[in-house]
Amino acid sequence: MLRIMVVDDERIEREALKMMISREMEGVEIVAEARNGRQAIERAKAQHPDLILMDIKMPGIDGVEAVKQIKRDLPDIRFIMVSAFDTFEYAKKVMQQGVKEYLLKPSKKEEVIEAIRRVQMEVEQQRKELEDKQQLERKFNKALDFMQSEWAVSLLVDHVQELDLNEWGELLDINFKCGYALVVKVNVREVDRRAWLEWLKDHVNLHSPDSTLLSPNHEEKLPLFFLTDQIDGEDKNEFKAYILPFIRNLIHQCEQSFHFKPHVGIGFPYRSVHQLSRSYYEALHALESIRSDQIVTYTFSSDESIVENETAVTFQKEKELLETIKNGDVRSALQKFEFYLDELSSDTSMDLNRSLSSLNEFFIIATRMINDLGIPVDRFIPYNQISSYQELGEESTRILRKIVEKVQTWRMVQAKGKLECAKEYIEEHFSDPLTLEMVASHVELSPYYLSKLFKEKKGITFIDFLTHVRIEKAKAYMLDTEISIKEVCFKVGYKDPNYFSRVFKKNVGQSPKQYRAVLHPF
């Protein structure tokens, strides 16, 4: 709907324009009128019309000055100037204000309507471009959130490949000399979890000088990874001085907004991305040392011997165990879990409660990782009613078996079916502007896992498969000589014939014209 305001000091002129517009045009609405420049300025601010038909010669503030003042505050409003004076000086003044339409009184109906239609088309085009831009931004932000979450999960389980670092950094616009982890604990029963997470994300983005990756954790302990080029990570005292103002401000602002002080465990910085999981475990260890009655609710990891033991031995077994869970390998997972439990029970630094806490953390990470792959597993609820290591082992083994069997069943049945469903969808909609996200949404998988399925089961990427389908369809269309190569291009989902020709030649070894010439030599 195009919102229009009519400005003229002659009432009969205003009424004539309003009647003409209402009778001859659809998709427009007269939202205001004014009899002089001052009224026009006030009502433009109140109504925000898309277009103003402005008389130039009016008592007091004339049309040229009114345009100047309105555009200062509302630059997107467009103007059609109406004047009984056919002089270059008037036209020059309004053109200097960016006005492109200039009508002479008395104006023919056709001229007025055509001028308004030109503006209407311009406004609609601008709105479409804005809508497309906003939609693109929403998709980009959604993809960016997914990538950040995916990398955060990868950091937790030390699954980041060195060859991918440059690509990740380029996609996320991150440069760093070192990285470190925080773990923030909040009592989910005392606060609106979603509101607090949104607040934390905004606070970190606004106040942290470093790039941040938030893990998609839904429990009480939220891991955050920070990547920085501000310090080199060698001097721990320098790091403490660097991070403490941010931590104290975070706790203070949280207390002001939500009336509680979060507990924050802080891991030390490391230069290698593969050591960020160690910083995470340091942060967890530090968090566990904070008592509920402490006034200061943040601390750094201090007992490095314990952390070293956890990261060097137990954590290595966690990595191997997580891999077998992800693959749905029940036999191997149970075997590795037995070794993992032995490691926990033999660690003199770990009493029953700390062993229980470590297992709770492990299952939280495992279920989160599996859900992020697109495999539906129930959210893990930490368990606490354990009185012996034997009971701990039995209950943990039961939970592990249930999780891995769920993954195994899904992989054996659902994954294959989902992939076939995705293939069928692509083969039916190959002419549409398909994306990995669209197909993944259709089959109810994460884009990451659908891409992984194509690589694992078909040995090709999603784009390779889509291209293969389109090229085969193009070959079939080329059998019909009545269909031009340009039409073939559009029929198989490409918008640019030159690009289609390059893709076709890369996959077939011949250009579309050469291929058709072989099919129809005469």
pLDDT value, residue 308 = 40
Taking the C-alpha atoms of residue 504 and residue 502, their distance in angstroms, rounded to an integer, is: 5
pLDDT tens digits, one per residue of 440-471? 888 877 776 777 778 877 788 888 899 999 99
pLDDT tens digits, one per residue of 298-317? 998 764 433 344 444 455 67
Identify the three-state secondary structure at position 121.
helix
pLDDT tens digits, one per residue of 224-278? 888 888 887 778 888 888 898 899 899 989 888 888 888 999 999 987 766 777 7
pLDDT for residue 151 is more than 60: no
> What's the mean pLDDT in 14-42?
90
The chain-wide mean pLDDT, for the chain, equals 79
pLDDT for residue 385 is more than 70: yes
Residue 120's contacts (CB-CB under 8 Å, 6 or more residues apart) are: 2, 25, 27, 28, 51
Taking the C-alpha atoms of residue 37 and residue 8, their distance in angstroms, rounded to an integer, is: 9
> What's the mean pLDDT in 281-307?
74
pLDDT value, residue 171 = 52
Taking the C-alpha atoms of residue 54 and residue 9, their distance in angstroms, rounded to an integer, is: 10
pLDDT tens digits, one per residue of 312-345? 445 567 767 877 887 788 888 888 888 888 877 7
Domains of the chain: 2-128 (3.40.50.2300), 174-301 (3.30.70.920), 464-519 (1.10.10.60)
Q: Give Cα separations from 276 to 149, 153, 298, 435 (angstroms).
A: 15, 11, 19, 33
pLDDT for residue 33 is more than 90: yes
pTM score of the predicted model: 0.41
The structure tokens listed for 471 are 């090229």
> What's the mean pLDDT in 59-72?
88
pLDDT for residue 381 is more than 70: yes
pLDDT for residue 156 is more than 70: no
Residue type, 413: V
Residue type, 36: N
Q: Give Cα separations from 20 to 32, 108, 450 (angstroms).
A: 15, 10, 57
Which of 24-28, 50-54, 186-190, 435-439 has the highest average model confidence (pLDDT)?
50-54
Least confident of 28-32, 288-292, 302-306, 493-497: 302-306
